[in-house]
Structure 1
Amino acid sequence: MVLSTSGVSYDTVVFDSDGVLVEPPTRETQLGATRAAFREMGVEDVDHEHLMDIVNGVTSDRLSALCAGYDLEPAEFWAVRERHDERSQFEAFRAGDRTCYDDIDVVLELSQRCGVVSNNHHSTIEFVLSFFGLQSAFDTYYGRPKTIESLALKKPNPHYLERALAELEAENDSALYVGDRETDIVAAERAGIDSAFVRRSHCRGVELAAAPTHEIADLSEIEPLISG
């Protein structure tokens, strides 16, 4: 399945990480890391909806309101939560509970300039590239720092995508961002570049309000797509 504009070719390709290069973290893992953070801060009884709020893309304002309800200092709690979240991801990769997708070899063979831009921690992207031996495939990578301030810079904000494109010296009309969420499509649109939506099993039935430039079933369709 490829929906594309004929004749288009790209010399720069930027990939999301979770859900595109590697399997996304499970909801149970994310919730467990958040519960562990509350426990470390001395809070044992946490409303499930509050846990879900934090896992489902919490904003700095919402985080402040949640912390106020548990008499926690937001920056201190967030530092603990991010540490537990990072640890839980490293453990999942090391245990083999999460891995890279089988079609990752396609990316390793691309001749285009490539990068990674993710809403995950920068340190986690660094770990992923090292753990799976992918460093040579990418000329740059960006995740976010483990700070409250970084929440406002997550996609669909194109901040880190634009930084990667600048570092790759990409021209907007020949750059492509590959993602698995609507926020990826919107970020690419705001950055002024084309997008490819990968319909992995976890997002196969997702209906999109924003239209990607291309839709692909997996990364095996990347090479003919970007070659025009």
Structure 2
Amino acid sequence: MCYDSIVFDNDGVLTYPTPQAVLQQGVKGAFSRFDITPDDDLVTKMVDADVTQIQQVARRYNIAPSVLWEQREKSVAAAQRRALEDGTKTLYEDVSTLESLHAPMGIVSNNQHETVLSIVELFELRELFPYATGREPTLDGFQRRKPNPDYLTDALDSIGVSSGLYVGDSNVDILAANRAGMDVAFIRRPHRTAYELVAEPTYEINSLEELASIAV
């Protein structure tokens, strides 16, 4: 099928997932800005926190939730940039096969916007992905992340199309694409071997190379 656009999730699709140790380092760095030494449970909580947990932690330390979260986002983005620079976080080799696709392409990630920009910059992907975004470093931006379709619909508007194909590696990607009115290709990378889907994707692939036979 010929698509007006192809939009990609990042982590687990274009780049290998960020190691937990890198995210934990970022969280610890955020707390250090407030002269707080968090225990392991708190660090784990703040790696995968929801808004309620963020508010609870902020009250515990008498910090405004928005201030705590913005510092957390800044610090984790910086830790991921270092991981990109030192080779801890890398591109999948099959990303190079996307150069053969002709539809306009973009990136929409639940990762920080600053991290997505770092990936595009360091791997010189701007020509391949003129549109690239992650979540805004605010609590509102955090709440708009997938499976909410907001960032996907923003991408379609910015690219100048009304529909397209979204390529992701998780259930939230499938749900967000469905809600945005997009077809979705689920890529079953090695870290998703036993992953169970809660909704049926339009396609299931094992490599980005397979898109050449889908998006024609």
State TM-score, norm by structure 2: 0.94
> What is the percentage of aligned positions where both structures have the same residue?
34
**1:125 corresponds to:** 116
User: What displacement does 1:196 show?
Assistant: 0.6
State the Cα distance separating 1:72 from its structure 2 match.
Answer: 2.5
Quote the Cα distance in structure 2 between the aligned partners of 1:142 and 1:45.
Answer: 30
Question: How far has the Cα of 1:125 moved from its partner?
Answer: 1.2
* Separation in 1, partners of 2:31, 2:133: 28
Q: How much has 1:75 moved relative to structure 2?
A: 1.9
Q: How does 1:33-182 map to 2 (within 5 A)?
A: 33-46=26-39, 48=41, 50-56=42-48, 58-172=49-163, 175-182=164-171
In the TM superposition, what whole-angstrom CA distance separates every residue of 1:12-70 from its partner, at most 9, and x where no partner exists?
A: 1000111111111111111121122223212214351x3323222x2323211122123
Match of 1:12 among 5, 11, 21: 5
Count of matched residue pairs? 216
Give structure 1 regions of 4+ aligned residues with deviation exceeding 6 angstroms: none
**Distance in 2 of aligned mates of 1:45 and 1:226:** 47
Deviation at 1:79, TM superposition (A): 2.1
Aligned to 1:198: 187
39-48 or 102-111, larger mean C-alpha shift: 39-48
Give the distance between the partners of 2:195 and 2:33, measured in 1 at CA.
36
Q: TM-score, normalised by structure 1?
A: 0.89
Which amino acid in the other structure matches residue 178 of structure 1? V
For 1:192 and 1:53, locate their aligned partners in 2 and report how far apart those are by CA, in whole Å: 33
Could you tell me how far 1:151 is from its partner in structure 2?
1.0
Aligned equivalents of 2:115, 2:47: Cα separation in 1: 16
Whole-angstrom distance in 1 between the partners of 2:29 and 2:133: 27
Q: In the alignment, which residue of structure 2 is the partner of 1:3?
A: none
- Paired with 1:46 and 1:182, the residues of 2 have a C-alpha distance of 31
The one-letter code matched in structure 1 to 2:20 is R
| SS of 1:195 mapped into structure 2 | strand
Matched, 1:211 2:200: yes
SS of the residue 1:103 aligns to: helix
| Structure 2: segments with no counterpart, 5+ residues | none
Partner amino acid, structure 1, of 2:43:
L
- Closer, same or farther in 2 for the Cα pair 1:190/1:30, shift >3 Å? same
- The C-alpha deviation readout for 1:195-227, integer Å capped at 9, x for no partner, is 011111111210011211111001011110112
CA 1:101/1:72 → structure 2, altered by over 3 Å: closer, same or farther?
Answer: same
Contact 1:178 1:196 in 2 (8 A): yes
Q: Pairwise CA RMSD of aligned residues? A: 1.4
1:21 and 2:14 are equivalent in the alignment = yes
Higher relative contact order (CA 8 A, sep 6+): 1
> What is the rounded CA distance, in whole Å, between the counterparts of 2:38 and 2:83 in structure 1?
25
Structure 2 residue 212 is the aligned partner of structure 1 residue 220? no
